[in-house]
Amino acid sequence: MANELSNDGKYIYINSQLAEAYIPDEIFDRPTDDPTNSSLAYDTGESVTSIGIFYMRFYDVDEITPEIREKTPVRTLSYPNKIETVPTGGMTKMTLTINGQTDVYRVYLYNHSDILMESASKKSYVNTEMFTKLIMSGKIPKSLTYDEIYFNWLKSFQINGINPGIPPVLMQAIIAKMCRSSGDVNTQFRMVAGKEKVDPHDYTMLSMNQVSAYSSVMSSMSFERFAEKLTTSLIMTKEDLPQEPSPIEKLITI
């Protein structure tokens, strides 16, 4: 994005005539006065606070039409930290298909010289907590490919000077467990990722709550949201779907 952005050492600005940012509508929440607030994204009306990972398009035109939008390549801002961005052109909600995935986005319009983000964000554990919450909720933007999720999670810790305190292989195992094949959520994406013609964006990321539901009847029933898990457990049993018994389950059923 070297030509589309400019940097004066304090802020990074939009250098093209117009630009759009596509942030999934589902990650937005209301802002609070709590400095430890870890909402995934919120809009104050004057600026937007979000994790700096989302799709963008840059334009050198006076007006963006659907035809121009369709022909303009999608770029990815990949900064796994909380940013405050200031688009002055307004916001429109749109249902768009990007990289084969259809979602409802808040589309923010930037004019030339609008502030995209600060050049360097302040280090804080809250930033890393926010990104980790994004992963655990299964709401990682699909602008990241499967293999990029881990490296961005690790980068989030590094940016904020924090040691995650766990081996990298454990972080990788968490991601592997949560990312499922879009065609079959019972199949971990890692099992199909290396095959020919598999789109690295073609994964469905489950929340930790959903992971328990698809693991085994015992894991499902021992987690939260009992009524919801009862339904998935009945379906799992009725359709004789494969289950992944937990170590505790193996111990108590000996």
Range of the domain at 111: 12-118
Question: Does any domain span residue 163?
Answer: yes
What totals of helices (H) and strands (E) does the chain contain, helices first?
A: 8, 12
User: Is residue 101 located within the same domain as residue 193?
Assistant: no
Residues 87 and 134 in one domain: no
Tell whether 38 and 157 lie within a shared domain: no
Q: Which residues contact 51 (CB under 8 A, 6 or more apart)?
A: 40, 41, 80, 81, 82, 83, 130, 131, 134, 141
Task: Select from 118, 138, 162 the last residue of a domain.
Answer: 118
Question: Which of residues 118, 148, 174 is at a domain's end?
Answer: 118
Whether 219 and 135 map to the same domain: the answer is yes
d(CA 27, CA 41): 6
SS3 state at 114 = coil
Q: Rounded CA gap, 16 and 69, in Å? A: 14
Specify the pLDDT at position 14. Answer: 97
Q: Residue 235 has what pLDDT? A: 53
Q: Are 163 and 187 in contact (CB under 8 A)?
A: no
| 94 & 202 share domain | no
What is the model's pLDDT at position 187? 85
Of 191, 190, 199, 145, nearest in space to 172 by CA? 190
Each residue's pLDDT expressed in tens, for the chain with a length of 254 residues: 668 999 999 999 999 999 999 998 888 875 455 444 446 788 988 999 998 999 999 999 999 999 999 999 999 999 999 899 999 999 999 999 887 778 899 999 999 999 999 998 888 888 898 888 888 888 787 778 899 999 999 999 999 999 988 899 999 999 998 898 888 887 889 988 878 788 888 898 888 777 766 655 445 445 555 455 555 555 555 555 555 666 555 555 55
Burial of 211 (0-12, 13-18, 19+ CB in 10 A): buried
Number of domains in the chain: 2
Same structural domain, 129 and 247 = yes
Please check whether residues 220 and 156 belong to one and the same domain: yes
Q: Work out the burial of residue 146: count CB atoms within 10 Å of its CB; fewer than 13 is exposed, 13-18 middle, 19 or more buried.
A: buried
Give the pLDDT confidence score for residue 56 in this predicted structure. 96
Domain final residue pick, 118, 143, 167 = 118
Whole-number Å distance between alpha carbons of 30 and 195: 41
Which residues, 6 or more positions from 117, have their beta carbon under 8 angstroms from its beta carbon?
11, 12, 52, 79, 83, 84, 85
pTM of the model: 0.76
Strands (E) located in 137-221? 179-181, 184-188, 203-205
Say if residue 134 is in the same domain as residue 216. yes
114 and 132 assigned to the same domain: no
